[in-house]
Each structure stands twice: as structure tokens, then as C-alpha cells.
Homo-oligomer: A and B are copies of this chain.
Amino acid sequence: MSDTFGKIYVVGLGPGDESMMTAQALEAIKASDVVIGYRVYTDLIKDLCDGKEVIESGMRQEIDRCKSCVELAKEGKTVALVCSGDAGVYGMASPMLEIAGKAGNDGIETEIVPGITAALSGAAVLGAPIGHDFCVISLSDLLTPWELIEKRLKLAAEADLCIVIYNPSSHKRADYLKKACEVMLTKLPADRPCGYVRNIGREGTDKKICTLKELADEQVDMFTTVFIGNSMTKISGDGLITPRGYAEK
């Protein structure tokens, strides 16, 4: 009986600090019997999970996590599936909705609760790098062919979009940011203002402003978000400013 089914919230927690969560996200977690997520994220909200069942899982167990949510909702439980940043941007909203939409799952209500994604929280640390049209591109080639990533970087550079890079590096992909910079350097000048932020909204937030050429040799980790300015972006003090338009004085 679908009447007795529970509800699934897919909740974007923002960068980490509770002060950067929305009230809606807090309420969704409060309303839930079970909180499910990658262990790094459930750790961030430990205080909010008092008295709730917490199911922590490892990386790359996303599909299993979604299936667990469906099972629990079928038992009548309200479940919060949590992710860092936004729920939709490379987040769990997409696999969760796909699985909840399968035959036999009618009557399970799902609600997507957005959160502050790193493009926004990182931009705030750097000043105003995405004041105009921008794109977000992940360098993870786990589920995306590298050729497509390169193509997107090239076309985004040609389009003079500010470019925000997610997942710039990992243990296995230590040279990916360098490779990406080399691709962009075929279209953009070496002195294009860039910046990056590490550990946004967590202990040890760290930022750096540099040129695109310098960026190619920076060592960044998977907790870093990288910003490439557009043709109007300026370095101002220790930050980046991209004007809101091309006619603005």
C-alpha cells in the first residue's frame, strides 16, 4: 500500500559547516528516521543525527545507497540521503530519482533539497569570479570519457565562459589539472587570472590566486575547487572579480 510508504529527501548539505546549510535542509534531516550517506558527509552532520539511524557507506556505493533508501521508504520510513554541496550537481538526486522511478516504486515520494555547491561557496571565498556566464566541469573521468572533458574545456574557453573545475585531482589522477590547463592554454592567454579554494567551509580553508600558466603546476587535491576567469576577470587585492557585463564601467 503506497499510503504507508515513507518519503525520501535528497539533501544538499552545502560545503560542510552547518551555518551554510539551509533551514529546509535542516528540517528535512530532522523529519527523517534514517540518514544515509557517504561517511565523510554523515560525519559533518553528526550532531543533527542524534536518535536517528545513520547508515554510512563508502565511496562508489551510490547505487546501493539509493536502493537502501527505496527499501526503507517501503517500510514506511522517512529517509534523508545526504550529499555535500548541492543535491543535484554531480549529486545523488539523479541516481535516486532514476531508481525511485522504477516499476514497483510508485507512491514513494521524493523531494530534492538544494544546497550551496562549491562553485558558489568557493566563489564567495575568492571574491566574485563567477559574476557573469559560467560553466561547471568535472575532471573526473570515472564516468565520462576524457576526450569529452577536453572538448568541453576547449569550447568553454572559446565561449569566454568563466570555468569552474570540480574534482581537479585524485590519487590516480594527479596530473589532470595540468592536462586541463594545457588544453585551455591552447585557447586562453597564459596570464588569464585563475584561483582555487581548498576545504571550503571547513577547517583550514585555503585559497590562492595565480595565472593559468602557473595553475598548470599547482598541486591540488580532491577537496579543491578551481576557477578560471573569463576575458574580463581581474585580480583585485587577494581576490578575483568578473564584471557582470561587458559594458559596465
Contacts and interface: CB of A to CB of B under 8 A. Distances in A.
Interface in A191-222: none
A2 interface: no
A103 interface: no
A230 to B, nearest CB: 10
Contacts of A127: 93, 97, 112
A116 B22 contact: yes
Interface stretch (A41-49, A70-78, A152-160, A171-179): A152-160
Given A89-B130, A131-B90, A247-B143, A23 B20 contact: yes
A56 interface: no
A130 to B, nearest CB: 6
A151 interface: yes
A88 B246 contact: no
A143 to B, nearest CB: 2
A244 interface: yes
Given A88-B128, A98-B243, A156-B159, 14 more contacts: A14-B22, A19-B24, A21-B23, A89-B123, A93-B123, A93-B128, A93-B131, A96-B128, A97-B127, A101-B237, A134-B135, A135-B156, A144-B247, A152-B159
27 contacts: A18-B23, A20-B22, A86-B123, A88-B130, A89-B134, A90-B132, A93-B124, A95-B243, A97-B239, A97-B241, A112-B123, A112-B128, A114-B121, A114-B124, A117-B120, A132-B144, A133-B135, A133-B136, A133-B137, A133-B152, A134-B135, A144-B247, A148-B160, A152-B159, A152-B161, A155-B158, A155-B159
Interface of A: 12, 14, 17-24, 27, 86-91, 93-98, 101, 112-117, 120-121, 123-125, 127-138, 142-145, 148, 151-152, 155-156, 158-161, 236-237, 239, 241-248
